[in-house]
Amino acid sequence: MPIEKYHQQVAECTAILRGRLSLTPSWGIILGTGLGRLVEHLQGGDSLGYEQFPHFPPPTSPSHVGRFVWGHLAGVPVILCQGRFHLYEGYTPRQVALPVRVMAAVGVRNLVVTNAAGGLNPLFQAGDLMLITDHINLQGDNPLVGRNVEGWGPRFPDMSRVYDLELRKLAEEVARERRLRLRQGVYVAVKGPCLETPAETRMLRLLGADAVGMSTVPEVIAGVHAGLKVLGCSVISNVNLPDAMAPIELSEIIATVRQAEPQVVELLLGILERQAQAG
């Protein structure tokens, strides 16, 4: 698709969302697999299903509702993506990044990405939270491929500091205060939908990754391109050890994430509370 057409699509989706928004969200939060309950803490606001947006593809992933929800969290105006798009669904990186483009266009300056991920670091346990310190893009694709839209961001975005250091420090402080165990590490994104073989798992660990998943990186790249501050948090839903691989069931992944979800909610609410205090 020519970039002009995509640009037009973003503009149309932005107009639809803007027409419904009752606030200007400064934070955008993408909720990954099994993570939806943050919406229960929203005050005021409303929601709009992705089906109301002509260029949003239908979400096909289990446990991804597919809607924007907005309101105040700890006094901060936020917009949440309940459900996201993935490359393994057959969507293009630009389609996957569409919600981020739209959120940036309505005023979001801080982007929080969450996901369920497989642990590669043998010290991790299922149910752990991992603050993403950096990523490796092994998806073989990128939402910025094609002509650059100069109004959105630079042709060659700097990726030396993708995950904002101040936001990471804030997350660490909140975790310490609230006694949440917060691991840290590198997220590697693969295309999926297959889970990894033992040989692939060994390779990903050797490459320097602590967790593997099938999402997040396209949205983060679009976010960096748009100049957003990015914070990423994975829930380690399973731990993959190449010499002792166990079959992974989606239902187990979702069950583990749901168990860890209150901690994710507490971490994010804590971060937003501190943000509200800082004014």
Candidates 61, 82, 240, 275; binder of ligand HPA (CB under 6 A) is 240
Least distance (Å) from ligand HPA to the CB of residue 206? 16
Binding to ligand HPA (CB under 6 A): which residues in 108-167?
A: 116-118
253 or 268, CB closer to ligand HPA?
A: 253
Quick check: 238 binds ligand HPA (CB under 6 A)? yes
What one-character-per-residue DSSP string does the chain give? --HHHHHHHHHHHHHHHHHH-SS--SEEEEE-TT--GGGGG-EEEEEEEGGGSTTPPPP-STT---EEEEEEETTEEEEEEES---GGGT--HHHHHHHHHHHHHTT--EEEEEEEEEE-STT--TT-EEEEEEEEE-SS--TT-SS--TTT--SS---TT-B-HHHHHHHHHHHHHTT--EEEEEEEE---SSPPPHHHHHHHHHTT-SEEESSSHHHHHHHHHTT-EEEEEEEEEEE--GGG-----HHHHHHHHHHHHHHHHHHHHHHHHHHHHH-
Binding to ligand HPA (CB under 6 A): which residues in 173-212?
A: 195-196, 212
Least distance (Å) from ligand HPA to the CB of residue 249? 10
Least distance (Å) from ligand HPA to the CB of residue 77? 30
Least distance (Å) from ligand HPA to the CB of residue 128? 12
Binding track over 218-237 against ligand HPA, x by CB under 6 A: -------------------x
With CB under 6 A as the rule, give the number of residues binding ligand HPA. Answer: 13
110 or 139, CB closer to ligand HPA?
A: 139
Tell me the residue type at 204. Answer: L
Spatial separation of the C-alpha atoms in residues 86 and 213, rounded to whole Å: 11
Least distance (Å) from ligand HPA to the CB of residue 215? 8
29 or 214, CB closer to ligand HPA?
A: 214
110 or 237, CB closer to ligand HPA?
A: 237
Binding track over 88-107 against ligand HPA, x by CB under 6 A: --------------------
Q: Which residues bind ligand HPA (CB under 6 A)?
A: 116-118, 195-196, 212-214, 237-238, 240, 248, 253
